[in-house]
Chain A
Amino acid sequence: MTKTHRRTIRFKLNGRPAIAEIGTHETLVEVLRRDFSLFGARESCGQGLCGCCTALVNGTAVSGCLYLAAFVDGAEVLTVEGLGSGNELHPIQQSFIENCAFQCGFCTPGFILMTKELLDRHPHPTTDEIRHYLSGNLCRCAAYPDIVRAVKAIAER
């Protein structure tokens, strides 16, 4: 293998300081699962095209399957596991449950984090804005109508 370069990164993960020994070629999603046992961001297409691996880095959604772990050095990373507080679910998570916005659930954390970015930036999006904002996330079970309703329900609060 081409010589592996290793380095240490320090960052904030779901509000807590974190440190990891990583290869510079390793992606964020690999490091989250291997070193932190966080599985909410998960690889599916591996090409930045489905959104299953979404994480928020300094509040911005990234595709964890492409985003190199090295880039989060010094940054704040949020995964779906860090979204609620303690045992309380975040209102977006609650709304996804209330609106049955998933079937197999594999895409769900990605949609939830993308929704978080959307609502942080545009608290009251229209249905069309919701569709466009979430159009980079795929759901093979096609829970789309319920996902839109779940987001709409919070936007209208």
Chain B
Amino acid sequence: MSSGKVIEPPPETKRKPGQVKRSVRRLESKAKVDGSAEYIHNLSLPGMLYGKIARSSIPHGKIRSIDAAAALALEGVHAVITGEDVRRLIPDPYYGPAFHDQPILALEKVRYVGEPVAVVLALDPHVAEEAADLIAVEYDPLEPVFDEVAAAKAGAPIVHDILKPAATFPDLKHLEGQSGTNVALSSRVRRGDLERGFQESDQIFEHTFRNGKVIHAALEPYVTVAEMAGPDALTIHTASQSPSFVRSEVSRLLGWPENRVRVRTAFLGGGFGGKLYIKLEALVAACTLLVRKPVRIALTMEEQFYTITKHGATVRVKTGVKNDGRILAREVETWWNGGAYADIGPRVAQKSGLTSSGPYDIENIGIDSHAIYTNEPPAGALRGFGVSQVVWAYESQTDIIARALRIDPLEFRRRNILREGRPHATGMLMSDIDIDAILDRLAERMDWDRPFDHGSGPIRRGRGIAIGMKACVAPTTSVAMVNIYGDGSCGICCSTVDMGQGSDTAMAQIAAEILGLSAESIRVIHPDTDVTPYDMATLGSRSTYHMGNAVRRAAEDARTQLLRMAATALKTDMEELECRDGAVIARSGARMTIRDVMVARFAMQAGNIIGVGSFIPPYEKPDHDTGQSRQITPFWMLGGAGAEIEVDTETGRIRVTKLVNVGDAGSAINPEIVERQLIGAGTMQFGFTVFEEMIFSEGQVLNASFADYKIPGMLDLPHDLTGELVEVPHQHGPFGAKGIGETGMFCVSPAIGNALYDAIEVRVTEMPLTPERVLRALREAKDQPLGSDE
């Protein structure tokens, strides 16, 4: 019953350039320049109420009373909702990916300044805002604790009386926390014999490095809108990086099956790890269910500072070396300031702990990494999951050691780096890596062998390098569907969220390569848990590798079905056929468009071919006591950075004149987008290194706005700013690709810190390297310390 037309191929059927490894422009380019790109930020629903959050004004205390009378009396206020109202709807209203420790609205206690205590709902956002200020809360203050090292000690004020592990993710199943302390997690790595390593060392170096808290400051604020979908189902529209997690967590809270909760996202105006797990979703869902009307809550920029931050951290590194420059032993202990709620902090502590001995081949290693509760805003993921904090520490020390041994810092690294086949600290054998190539590229781009002019007079110049690594998070699952429609056009259903990293484009390229289509012709359907399959989340540079593989498999499945149908129509064997140029082409030269195949199969332009693919990489849980595992990660992320700076020794001000960021992307799916990821991440970390810092006083953020918290702008950028790809293909990556969204963050801080030392021979161990810190260090080195202003 075949009605397919068999067309002779045109004389010169030219192969299009490949769809992968091509710098395809973002599919949504036009929508992003004409104002039509969809963000959840744009969404309003008929009859929608605006919610405004009233927040705690103290860092730690018992709630004595909440008086909402004045707020409720304000004309136009629809409702005021408190933690007790939420508890009537959800008996156990605590959420979180690692611990179920965060109440939807504060119950009994508050644990940080800015914690949500009540919500006002009104048709007019201005009314909601005014009423939120009228809510009067009385507290019995408790002693707070802010410093992560102090909070870890016995006798510190306790932030959580009981710890409730979530056991959601397989890699966090072992979480137990230590009740009666502020330690949410302590993870360990042990390899070799640390004590002997130090004994056999010629010299031992020990330093402690610190960094303060910073924030994501995505320009699209956190925003969630929810509505009833019939009497017993919910739709949540949210600017989230993890729609699948939002669905399962909201379902769990409500005690509903997942199929009654629909979560959808659109483009995100930046995410950077902030929009992960639950942020506003549980709160907005609860409000919607309580009032049975659509509710929207969008945060202001100021409120971002009270929602989620990057971890402040204290990192102690002790390293033993031989005089010939071999590292024999390294001990690293890190205290992560997780703030009042765990969020994903325990995973940050565990994952970045695992690699905190650095990309070095060291026989004797001891690593301890502690996630600590304090009375500051919660800390979570921020583009790198803690890696940039530990790289800041170990690469600053690497520089110190190299200089002490009088070995060129680049050469010192060469003598110690991990190479293919060698065991990592966790015991996993390194594969698909080439750190030498990264060092070579750094040497070349930094002109490392050329003599460097350090300047004289008040302006001094310096240069520095650093390398760093991360183990991509594991184990995580991605599922994708590729849908071929009756006319031969194609859509991809996947829950990867495009927040600017270009995942829509990359996924289209992967499917296009397999189906013989052009990437530009493919439509990527945005996450909607009613439509798009499960994905763990868009985080940790995992999407290209994991979802890329799922999409590849889904496209292969669709291609198999398509070729089988075409083989029937053409009365030939599947093996004779391939997908190319939007058609199925036989070795004989016969050709059918995809639409022809569909018409042949379904007798008209109708039907679907649905290809499905899922991907979960192999993983072996690390041993609880030693952190050893044969398969800790699907792929290693490696990068390096080099910086040249000028320091004004009279003001302490640093000007970065050159910043080179090298990253191993495997075989890049879209080289131009990848280079821009490196530059974007490098610029962000440059801000964290040189000026970004949340300033706290008794738990209160003193600079919670762009007026006082500066992020990098046009005029701050190094004039010479590049992202450099090193391509070491990964055997299991889709077309050899690895993830790289975070790699540009790793090494910028120590590269700049090392350049600072090179310029002024003073080591600053705490980030950011503000003029004040640099000047104080300079004056201390000269024995003329600056007075303190306290």
Give me the interface of A with B, judged by CB distance under 8 Å: 1-2, 23, 25-26, 33-34, 38-40, 42-47, 49-50, 52, 79-81, 83-84, 89, 93, 96-97, 100, 102-109, 112, 131-132, 134-148
A47 to B707, CA, bound (A): 8
Closest Cβ of chain A to B297, distance in Å, is 14
Which residues of chain B come closer than 8 Å to A79, judged between CB atoms?
A: 35
Kindly supply a per-residue 1/0 record for chain B positions 688-713, scoring 1 wherever the CB is within 8 Å of any chain A CB and 0 otherwise: 00000000000000000111000111
B154 sits at the interface (CB 8 A): no
Contact, CB under 8 Å: A143 / B39:
no
Which residues of chain B come closer than 8 Å to A105, judged between CB atoms?
A: 28, 31-33, 37, 267, 269, 500
A80 to B31, CA, bound (A): 11
Closest Cβ of chain B to A35, distance in Å, is 11
Contact, CB under 8 Å: B35 / A107:
no
B21 sits at the interface (CB 8 A): no
A143 to B680, CA, bound (A): 7
Stretch at the interface among B156-164, B184-192, B214-222, B287-295: B214-222
7 interchain residue pairs of minimum CB distance: A40-B35, A106-B269, A104-B500, A105-B32, A103-B500, A142-B683, A93-B33
Out of A38, A50, A84, name the residue touching B706 (CB < 8 Å).
A50
Closest Cβ of chain A to B683, distance in Å, is 4
B459 sits at the interface (CB 8 A): no
Stretch at the interface among B402-410, B608-616, B714-722: B714-722
Which residues of chain B come closer than 8 Å to A45, judged between CB atoms?
A: 219, 301, 705-706
A144 to B718, CA, bound (A): 11
A96 to B37, CA, bound (A): 15
Which residues of chain B come closer than 8 Å to A93, judged between CB atoms?
A: 33-34
Contact, CB under 8 Å: A100 / B676:
yes
Contact, CB under 8 Å: B32 / A80:
no
Which residues of chain A come closer than 8 Å to B269, judged between CB atoms?
A: 42, 44, 104-106
Which residues of chain A come closer than 8 Å to B219, judged between CB atoms?
A: 44-45, 50, 52, 104, 106-107, 138-140
A146 to B501, CA, bound (A): 15
Closest Cβ of chain B to A29, distance in Å, is 11
Out of B35, B217, B502, B672, name the residue touching A39 (CB < 8 Å).
B35
Contact, CB under 8 Å: A145 / B721:
yes
A47 to B703, CA, bound (A): 14
B25 sits at the interface (CB 8 A): yes
Closest Cβ of chain A to B358, distance in Å, is 26
A17 to B32, CA, bound (A): 26
B88 sits at the interface (CB 8 A): no
Contact, CB under 8 Å: B707 / A39:
no
Contact, CB under 8 Å: A46 / B32:
no
Instruction: Say yes or no: A1-B301 contact (C-beta < 8 A), given A104-B269, A140-B218.
Output: no
- Give me 7 A-to-B residue pairs in the complex whose CB atoms sit less than 8 angstroms apart, sorted by A's number: A26-B126, A40-B34, A42-B41, A44-B221, A81-B36, A105-B32, A140-B216
Contact, CB under 8 Å: B714 / A148:
yes
Out of A38, A42, A108, name the residue touching B33 (CB < 8 Å).
A108
Which residues of chain A come closer than 8 Å to B502, judged between CB atoms?
A: 103
Contact, CB under 8 Å: A103 / B712:
no
Instruction: Say yes or no: A39-B42 contact (C-beta < 8 A), given A97-B25, A140-B218.
Output: yes
Closest Cβ of chain A to B325, distance in Å, is 36
The residues in B between 666 and 691 inclusive whose CB is less than 8 angstroms from any CB of A are 672-673, 676, 679-680, 682-684
The residues in B between 5 and 64 inclusive whose CB is less than 8 angstroms from any CB of A are 25-26, 28-37, 39, 41-42, 44
Out of B42, B268, B499, B714, name the residue touching A134 (CB < 8 Å).
B714
A137 to B714, CA, bound (A): 8
Which residues of chain A come closer than 8 Å to B177, judged between CB atoms?
A: none
B360 sits at the interface (CB 8 A): no
Contact, CB under 8 Å: A102 / B32:
yes
Known: A26-B126, A104-B218. 12 other contacts (CB 8 A): A1-B127, A33-B42, A38-B35, A39-B42, A97-B33, A103-B680, A104-B268, A106-B269, A135-B713, A136-B713, A142-B684, A143-B680
Contact, CB under 8 Å: B33 / A96:
yes
A134 to B716, CA, bound (A): 12
Which residues of chain A come closer than 8 Å to B300, judged between CB atoms?
A: 46
Interface SS, B side: loop
Which residues of chain A come closer than 8 Å to B715, judged between CB atoms?
A: 131-132, 135
Contact, CB under 8 Å: B126 / A97:
no
B453 sits at the interface (CB 8 A): no
Which chain A residue shows the least CB distance to B269? A106
Contact, CB under 8 Å: A141 / B41:
no
A144 to B715, CA, bound (A): 10
Which chain B residue shows the least CB distance to A110? B219
Contact, CB under 8 Å: B130 / A140:
no
Contact, CB under 8 Å: A1 / B126:
yes
The residues in B between 223 and 282 inclusive whose CB is less than 8 angstroms from any CB of A are 267-272
Contact, CB under 8 Å: B33 / A49:
no
Which residues of chain B come closer than 8 Å to A147, judged between CB atoms?
A: 714
A112 to B717, CA, bound (A): 20
A146 to B714, CA, bound (A): 11
B75 sits at the interface (CB 8 A): yes
Which chain A residue shows the least CB distance to B675? A100
Which residues of chain B come closer than 8 Å to A33, judged between CB atoms?
A: 42, 44
Which residues of chain A come closer than 8 Å to B127, judged between CB atoms?
A: 1
A2 to B33, CA, bound (A): 39
Closest Cβ of chain A to B267, distance in Å, is 7
B76 sits at the interface (CB 8 A): yes
Contact, CB under 8 Å: B713 / A140:
no
Closest Cβ of chain B to A79, distance in Å, is 7
A26 to B126, CA, bound (A): 9
Out of A46, A100, A102, A109, name the residue touching B35 (CB < 8 Å).
A109
Which chain A residue shows the least CB distance to B712? A142
Out of A39, A97, A145, name the residue touching B679 (CB < 8 Å).
A145
Contact, CB under 8 Å: B683 / A47:
no
Which residues of chain A come closer than 8 Å to B673, judged between CB atoms?
A: 100
Which chain A residue shows the least CB distance to B131? A1
Instruction: Say yes or no: A104-B34 contact (C-beta < 8 A), given A44-B220, A47-B301, A140-B684.
Output: no
Which residues of chain A come closer than 8 Å to B603, judged between CB atoms?
A: none
B781 sits at the interface (CB 8 A): no
Out of B42, B499, B679, name the residue touching A104 (CB < 8 Å).
B499
Closest Cβ of chain A to B630, distance in Å, is 37
A143 to B707, CA, bound (A): 21
Out of B33, B39, B706, name the residue touching A106 (CB < 8 Å).
B39
B74 sits at the interface (CB 8 A): yes
Which residues of chain A come closer than 8 Å to B75, judged between CB atoms?
A: 1
